[in-house]
Amino acid sequence: MKRFIFLGIISIFVFTGCAWFETKEEKPAQELANDGIDYFRDRDYRKAIESFEKLKDWYPFSKYAILAELKIADAHFSLEEYEDAIFAYEAFESLHPRNEAIPYVIYQVGLCYFKQIDTIDRDQTTAKKALDTFRRLKKQFPKSPYARNAGSRIKKCLKSLAGHELYVGLFYFKSKHYKAALNRFKSVLVNYPDVGVHKKALEHIALCEASLTKQQEKEN
């Protein structure tokens, strides 16, 4: 009796296992790729990711697997899941450094950081990372149309960084920390001379120097 029960369990496992493999294999790589593209075009990015993930997992050596890797990154970007998108784009570049899509991939990484730039009174880490990424793109692929597109983004990154430096300088100036303020205003002139804030920086350099002179006279 126990033997029949055991055989019955084995039979269930075998048949369900076969059914599972049939379900897994029922869609070829090209069909999964087409599904993912269709979902992406319909802006159903979650389902697009699901289809492309299946394609990657089931057919890792398929010619469509590279497409899946890239479109997963694009889907995360479209969902504004920028950290996931950056991870996926950077993984793509690491795995396929000579792929023709690399200029686009680098541009997208820069754009992920660019989209997260906050107001000038907040931390500017993403502005710095966006700037570094766009500059790398222009250096590595100067003739790429993506490098040309990066030009206007670079200017906005510089403006944000300059605005932050000026903001901090003004904070120190109002707090009467004139030396710290002076260093910030000078930094604006040296690092961001052509983004439209140098005039204000120059004015406050003069004010800081005058205030420091008055402080020294009082001390003497």
Total tally of structural domains belonging to the chain: 1
DSSP, residue by residue, 128-154: HHHHHHHHHHHHH-TTSHHHHHHHHHH
Instruction: Estimate to the nearest angstrom the gap between the alpha carbon of 1 and the chain centroid.
Output: 63
Burial of 194-209, coded b for 16+ CB within 10 Å and e otherwise, reads ebebbeebeebbeebe
Q: What is the pLDDT of residue 194?
A: 85
Q: What is the pLDDT of residue 26?
A: 66
- Is 80 exceeded by the pLDDT of residue 3? no
The parent domain of residue 46 ranges over 26-81
Segment 150-172 mean pLDDT: 96
Q: What is the pLDDT of residue 178?
A: 94
In eight-state DSSP terms, residue 162 is H
- Is 50 exceeded by the pLDDT of residue 203? yes
What does pLDDT average to over the chain? 89
Assigned domain for 37 exists? yes
Contact 134, 115 (CB under 8 A): no
Assigned domain for 145 exists? no
Residue, of 128 and 216, whose pLDDT is higher: 128
Assigned domain for 52 exists? yes
Q: What is the pLDDT of residue 25?
A: 54
Q: How confident is residue 56, by pLDDT bands cut at 50, 70 and 90?
A: very high
CA distances from residue 114 to 83, 124, 131, 218 in whole angstroms, order as listed: 12, 10, 8, 47
Q: How confident is residue 117, by pLDDT bands cut at 50, 70 and 90?
A: very high
d(CA 20, CA 208): 74
Assigned domain for 56 exists? yes
- Is 60 exceeded by the pLDDT of residue 16? no
In eight-state DSSP terms, residue 176 is T
Assigned domain for 75 exists? yes
Segment 146-157 mean pLDDT: 95
Judging by beta carbons within 10 Å of its beta carbon (0-12, 13-18, 19+), is residue 19 exposed, middle or buried? exposed
Assigned domain for 34 exists? yes
Assigned domain for 61 exists? yes
- Is 70 exceeded by the pLDDT of residue 200? yes
Assigned domain for 93 exists? no
Residue, of 218 and 199, whose pLDDT is higher: 199
170: its two tokens: 């003004």
Q: What is the pLDDT of residue 15?
A: 39
Judged by average pLDDT, the poorest of 2-11, 21-30, 139-148 is: 2-11
d(CA 26, CA 183): 66
Kindly provide the residue ranges of all beta strands, DSSP E only, lying in 13-168, ordered along the sequence.
Answer: none
Q: What is the pLDDT of residue 21?
A: 42
d(CA 142, CA 165): 29
Beta-carbon-side half-sphere exposure of residue 117 (alpha carbons within 13 Å): 20
d(CA 90, CA 212): 48
Q: How many other C-beta atoms lie within 10 A of the C-beta of residue 93? A: 16
Q: How confident is residue 17, by pLDDT bands cut at 50, 70 and 90?
A: very low
Residue, of 112 and 18, whose pLDDT is higher: 112
